[in-house]
Chain A
């Protein structure tokens, strides 16, 4: 339509938004809250448990902050990035993936992907917030970050781009979600497109943080940004299957035909993306075995060293092989099997991120000098505080998911 661009004027959007707000949202939200209060007992038990988890995690986080992260966390001078960074990556990978997969429907107009859109966008916002919360407790001076990111930007820094673009991404996703709620699908599409672009740019910059560290051969190269985007889609698909399944359980409802078809499409995409991850991982290992000595050491630590359990059981079996066959066997129809596959994948991917971050640091920087008095592989294990903060991030996702299912009534959306 040639008039589309003209109709994008701000005044019209505002009018449109306020009109729909007056008529629907205020009243339905009120009734939603009433309905929310009349939920089932198990729902409240879950909600309260997650709430307690968030509370204890927040206490741990504040306590760790007071004590000093050097004392509270397991990170060291040599291994400065631990489970909090990997969990941050896990959450934002999932968020970006959710955004990418949902955009297939409401940005690019593939009908089969439309029914999952609302829940997916909601979860994308929730997971990025969880990610930001976790990294808040990792960065030593988070308040300075907000100030100097704005007044002293370093445009060659991937962290600067990632932080700034993810900030923009979150705003676009929130605006998109509000517009979806209000039924302004046209504007939601534009916001979704902006969210998608900033999300992909932000996420590939996250990969490039690692890929552009030229002193770290384990990560260096264009592999990281590309791999991050590919694995984000796998994460996103898994999260959609996982949370849609749970959403219908929480609401105690049966899926309708369009939703079933939608999940079938997601499952197919998921199978493809798992295959892509298998491909990426295989070549990472094979090329890594004929690399600089430091990288070979790290790869060996994964194949047969202290990280072999993580690699073979969690990454390969739970994260790739088992879900691949379960998804194939389910043929996108056996929803229980798909759910198990997605749960395995999420676990596997969590460990995948952990290994990606930690194994890149275990080989000492002066490895080639043959220095004594330093172990050939540096140790790291997360402290209780770090684990609590990670659980807190998961608690945030759980609570927001549960409340979201109630308030937004299972994120139903008419196919348009």
Chain B
């Protein structure tokens, strides 16, 4: 009997360096899930959100072209729907009763264990890739070069409402008194430009739901919340690709 001669000199090594990255991730994920089960489910609950964490905050992390790069983190589970933020917005920005710049959506999960209802504050997401700005025919809405806030020039707006159609977040309405589309501008004209550091809604919130600040400043609260990876951070409708500057998290 003849055995084939093995070329032992040039045999491929079969150590862990040959395992593809995807296999490693799968293994790691499996490990995380198993550990999660034994750790009382706390880690388990984070696992399904791992993708979201990286999809949202990682994507924009470190890329903040504006100075200050205004941003808001909404700690969703803290909201109790007291609506003080809405009231403050209406008073500060002279918002008529038929419109709103910010709202609180309610979501109900009837088959949930324990708490069945949650509140989701929404406002203009001041997107980095704003669909409304691209669509406006006369540059009446634009991305402010310094702060990144999506602003309105009330005198230019022709009222075609294409920006309302373009917005994935329903953040715009036509204001009759101003003869123009109106929207949240992080209180730029009413507060920030006058030296205030918070928007009216953030200042009014008793539960610290709305954390407002400069995302390009590593010392700011928003930076800390967006850049941590222990708790999931997400954005609304990420599939649109508008790259919002309003982030959501729990805890």
Please list the residues of chain A having a beta carbon within 8 angstroms of any beta carbon in chain B: 68, 70, 77-78, 80-81, 139-142, 144-145, 148-149, 152-154, 156-160, 163, 209, 212-216, 292, 361, 364-366, 368-373
Give the CA-CA distance A209 to B156 in the complex, in Å: 20
Contacts of B21 in A (CB 8 A): none
In-complex Cβ contact of B131 among A142, A152, A213, A361 (8 A): A213
B residues 59-105 in Cβ contact with A at 8 Å: 98-99, 105
Asked if A140 contacts B179 (CB within 8 A), the reply is yes
Asked if B138 contacts A153 (CB within 8 A), the reply is yes
Give the CA-CA distance A371 to B236 in the complex, in Å: 13
Contacts of B155 in A (CB 8 A): 144
In-complex Cβ contact of A213 among B99, B137, B166 (8 A): B166
Contacts of A159 in B (CB 8 A): 135-137, 160, 162
- Determine the residue in chain A with the shortest Cβ distance to B142: A154
Smallest beta-carbon distance A142→chain B, Å: 7
Determine, out of B32-40, B48-56, B225-233, B237-245, the stretch whose residues face the partner at the interface: B237-245
CB of B167 closer than 8 Å to a CB of A: yes
Smallest beta-carbon distance B83→chain A, Å: 14
- Determine the residue in chain B with the shortest Cβ distance to A158: B135
Contacts of B131 in A (CB 8 A): 213-215
Contacts of B240 in A (CB 8 A): 214-215
In-complex Cβ contact of A366 among B108, B122, B173, B241 (8 A): B122
Contacts of A77 in B (CB 8 A): 99, 164, 170, 173-174
Give the CA-CA distance A77 to B170 in the complex, in Å: 8
Asked if B107 contacts A371 (CB within 8 A), the reply is yes
**Interface membership of chain B positions 116-127, coded 1 if the CB is closer than 8 angstroms to chain A and 0 otherwise:** 000010100000
Smallest beta-carbon distance B89→chain A, Å: 16
A140/B237 contact (C-beta < 8 A), A77-B164, A77-B170 known? no
In-complex Cβ contact of A144 among B134, B156, B237 (8 A): B156
In-complex Cβ contact of A369 among B98, B105, B158 (8 A): B105
In-complex Cβ contact of A365 among B98, B169, B173 (8 A): B169
What class of interface size applies to chain B in its complex with A? 35 or more
- Determine the residue in chain B with the shortest Cβ distance to A143: B158
Identify the 6 closest CB pairs spanning chains A and B, nearest first: A140-B159, A215-B168, A148-B138, A160-B137, A159-B137, A145-B158
Asked if A372 contacts B165 (CB within 8 A), the reply is no
Give the CA-CA distance A152 to B166 in the complex, in Å: 20
CB of B161 closer than 8 Å to a CB of A: yes
A141/B137 contact (C-beta < 8 A), A80-B161, A215-B167, A369-B120 known? no
Q: Is the interface of B mostly helix, strand, loop or mixed?
A: loop
A149/B173 contact (C-beta < 8 A), A140-B179, A213-B131, A214-B241 known? no
CB of B152 closer than 8 Å to a CB of A: no
Asked if B136 contacts A140 (CB within 8 A), the reply is no
- Determine the residue in chain A with the shortest Cβ distance to B155: A144
Asked if B156 contacts A216 (CB within 8 A), the reply is no
Contacts of B241 in A (CB 8 A): 214
A366/B161 contact (C-beta < 8 A), A140-B179, A158-B135 known? no
Smallest beta-carbon distance A369→chain B, Å: 6
Smallest beta-carbon distance B74→chain A, Å: 13
Smallest beta-carbon distance A352→chain B, Å: 19
B residues 143-191 in Cβ contact with A at 8 Å: 155-162, 164-170, 173-174, 176, 179-180
Give the CA-CA distance A158 to B137 in the complex, in Å: 7
- Determine the residue in chain A with the shortest Cβ distance to B132: A215
> 17 A-B pairs, CB-CB below 8 angstroms?
A141-B158, A141-B179, A141-B180, A145-B158, A148-B138, A149-B138, A152-B156, A153-B138, A154-B139, A215-B166, A215-B240, A364-B170, A365-B167, A365-B169, A370-B107, A370-B108, A372-B108
Smallest beta-carbon distance B104→chain A, Å: 10
Contacts of A216 in B (CB 8 A): 165-166, 168
Asked if B136 contacts A157 (CB within 8 A), the reply is yes
In-complex Cβ contact of A373 among B106, B122, B162, B237 (8 A): B106
Asked if B105 contacts A371 (CB within 8 A), the reply is yes
Asked if B176 contacts A145 (CB within 8 A), the reply is no
Contacts of B164 in A (CB 8 A): 77, 80
CB of B140 closer than 8 Å to a CB of A: yes
- Determine the residue in chain B with the shortest Cβ distance to A361: B165
Give the CA-CA distance A154 to B242 in the complex, in Å: 19
